[in-house]
Amino acid sequence: MDENVLREISASWRGARYPVVLTGAGISTESGVPDFRSSKGLWRQTPEELSSITMLERKPELFYPFYQDRIRNILAAGPNAGHFGLSRLMEHGYLRVLITQNIDGYHQLAGAPEVLELHGTLRKVSCMRCHAAFDSRQMLPEAEDETLTPGVGPECQCPECGGRLRPDIVLFGEGLPERAWEKAMRAARRADLFVVVGSSLTVGPANLLPEWAADAGARLLIINREATPLDRLARWVVRESAGAVISALVDSILAEPV
């Protein structure tokens, strides 16, 4: 990132009263989370089809192996410089609200005290009948079945009541968690600096937040490798790796006394 731009952004960030950050998949790809096996052609359905409530209800033999795979992938990696950098900003009072579209829980693992998870979390599963909650490891088979025969094993059942377990994420066809969404909307309207990190801003309704923030007068910073539909509203657009940009910004913001 250009030195002058870096200085301008960090000065603006230091002076902001209510900085808000929204993160998307781009911040976590740098953690090296392995690709879904689906992308290697093992699954005939697209991830969008497999991530639907219809698939959970009608084709659990396809739904469960897909999510067991995603849980394993998330457990195999962890937070990176981008996640840790944002946690440091929070810790020093330079980040008021952290909103994420991600379901990997890496912000919390990096020490963020509060995260608004708009799409839920794949760190937990719960029973569809009695609502008992479990760590998502509960939904993994004892030994990984290398033959990958799709099926619904006993691990997909609630140990309390035998009901069916489901990941605590928002599936296609479901609404966003109300509390998190309301807080995120309020934060967007209150923000004077709104920062997007690693989101293509193509998934709604989360992509409305930066637009609302900009409409309400917030300066908008977009850090994403590819162009987004909101680039035209942004004061700054940085098309570089999230981890490197956040690290440079955090160093610069924290270098100056408050």
For residue 158, state whether it binds Zn ion (rule: CB under 5 A): yes
For residue 47, state whether it binds Zn ion (rule: CB under 5 A): no
Supply the minimum distance, in Å, between the C-beta of residue 246 and Zn ion: 40
Cβ-based nearer residue to Zn ion, 23 or 138: 138
Supply the minimum distance, in Å, between the C-beta of residue 55 and Zn ion: 21
For residue 156, state whether it binds Zn ion (rule: CB under 5 A): no
Supply the minimum distance, in Å, between the C-beta of residue 161 and Zn ion: 3
| Residue 119 is a catalytic residue | yes
Supply the minimum distance, in Å, between the C-beta of residue 126 and Zn ion: 8
Tell whether residue 156 is among the known ligand binding residues.
no
For residue 60, state whether it binds Zn ion (rule: CB under 5 A): no
Bin 111: left if φ > 0, else alpha if -120 < ψ < 50, else beta.
left
Taking residue 25's Cβ as centre, other Cβ atoms within 10 Å add up to 16
For residue 78, state whether it binds Zn ion (rule: CB under 5 A): no
Among 18, 163, 244, 247, binds Zn ion (CB under 5 A): 163
x/- letters, 7..46, toward Zn ion (CB under 5 A): ----------------------------------------
Cβ-based nearer residue to Zn ion, 127 or 169: 127
Among 11, 42, 76, 130, binds Zn ion (CB under 5 A): 130
Phi, psi of 40 (to 5 degrees): -95, 10
For residue 145, state whether it binds Zn ion (rule: CB under 5 A): no
For residue 216, state whether it binds Zn ion (rule: CB under 5 A): no
Among 42, 161, 216, 227, binds Zn ion (CB under 5 A): 161
Query: Measuring CA to CA, which residue among 118, 122, 92, 128 is closest to residue 109?
Result: 122
Cβ-based nearer residue to Zn ion, 21 or 158: 158
Supply the minimum distance, in Å, between the C-beta of residue 52 and Zn ion: 22
Q: Which residues are designated catalytic? A: 119
- List residues near Zn ion by CB under 5 A: 127, 129-130, 132, 158, 160-161, 163
